[in-house]
Amino acid sequence: MIPTRNKRKTLQATVDEMRNFALTYVEKYAPSKQQLKTYLLKKYMKLSASKVKKEDIIKLIDIVLIDLEKNKFINDQFYSESKANSMAQRGHSLNKIRNYLIGKGINDSFVKNTIVKIKEKNSDQDFFSAIKICKKRRIGPARNEDNRILFYKKDISILARKGFDFETSKKVMDLDKNDYLKIIKYL
């Protein structure tokens, strides 16, 4: 029988190990601060099932996160702006972008600043995003003229589920086919 030694990790070794896990995760996924915190917490709660208190792990994670923020490996403001811009490019509504960022644990002030910056770039962002959704899903003005009236309610519902308000949805749905085609050329 081989005797086993009780190895107790030092605090510094644990912090270094946690930092390495965090850096690997940041390199692969570019997460927000809250996503990284959740990942590390799950990882360490699984590794040290009942040996360590949850509060101690949270304190260590906070130390690592502060260090990563200080060294600019994670930045919630940059994360917020980059995610919001890519979502706006793909045709998501401002409501959907806002809810996504809040769900990722981004600070409310960063979310508000990001939404304001998007509105400054394009005052009617939701309208153009709804046009992109119509093109992608072939609904509303992208449908044949014969079918537009039949599918009006269904198309409005699709836009509502995508996060667009009724006025924007109605404005897009009432577009003439020629106007729609002109707008699509510039998108």
pLDDT computed for residue 49 by the predictor? 60
pLDDT computed for residue 5 by the predictor? 47
147-161 burial, b if ≥16 CB within 10 A, otherwise e? ebeebbeebbebbee
130-142 burial, b if ≥16 CB within 10 A, otherwise e? bbbbbbeeebbbb
Q: What span, in angstroms and rounded, lies between the C-alpha atoms of 48 and 33?
A: 22
Q: What is the mean pLDDT of residues 39-53?
A: 80
The domain limits of the chain are 11-70, 76-121, 125-186
Of all residues in the chain, what percent carry a pLDDT higher than 70? 92
The pLDDT confidence band at residue 187, using thresholds 50, 70 and 90, is confident
Of all residues in the chain, what percent carry a pLDDT higher than 90? 78
pLDDT computed for residue 13 by the predictor? 73
Contact 119, 125 (CB under 8 A): yes
pLDDT tens across 150-165, in order?
Answer: 999 999 999 999 999 9
Q: What span, in angstroms and rounded, lies between the C-alpha atoms of 159 and 170?
A: 9
- List own/partner pairs for 123-126 with CB under 8 A and 24 or more apart: 125/88, 125/94, 126/93, 126/94, 126/164, 126/165, 126/168
The pLDDT confidence band at residue 10, using thresholds 50, 70 and 90, is low
